[in-house]
Amino acid sequence: MNIQEEIMNVLQDDDESIIQIENSFSYYNIKYNRTEVVEALRQLLFEEKIEIQYPFEKKDERELDINQIEDYWFGLTEVGKKEMKKILENMSDNLPS
């Protein structure tokens, strides 16, 4: 999976902050730095695959304030959920039988 797919994978069960996303990456030994994670989050927001869940007043925003990045909680949108479902289906289809 690429970084965007990895982020969506982390978000598929629950909303998470960037700290939780990075902790999940660390736990599974997935190597991305903060700059790469922020850029991927920006792209996912732009593509409307994720949205800001908290703070609530930021929910419709498509830009990240880097000074507040640790305050944001992100969640998958319906578009993101559908894409993640396809990714997981493709992965299971490619498993050896």
Residue ranges covered by each domain of the chain: 3-92
Confidence of residue 93 (pLDDT cuts 50, 70, 90): confident
Amino acid 63: pLDDT = 87
What's residue 61's pLDDT? 84
Q: Which residues contact 40 (CB under 8 A, 6 or more apart)?
A: 3, 4, 7, 32
What is the end-to-end Cα distance of the chain in Å, rounded? Answer: 21
pLDDT at 62 over 90: no
> Which of the 8 DSSP states describes residue 30?
-
Record the tokens describing residue 44, joined without a space: 């996912």
Architecture of domain 3-92: Orthogonal Bundle (1.10)
In the predicted structure, residue 95 carries a pLDDT above the cut 80 = no
17: helix, coil or strand?
strand
**pLDDT at residue 83 tops 80:** yes
**19 band by pLDDT with thresholds 50, 70 and 90:** very high
- Say what the pTM is: 0.92
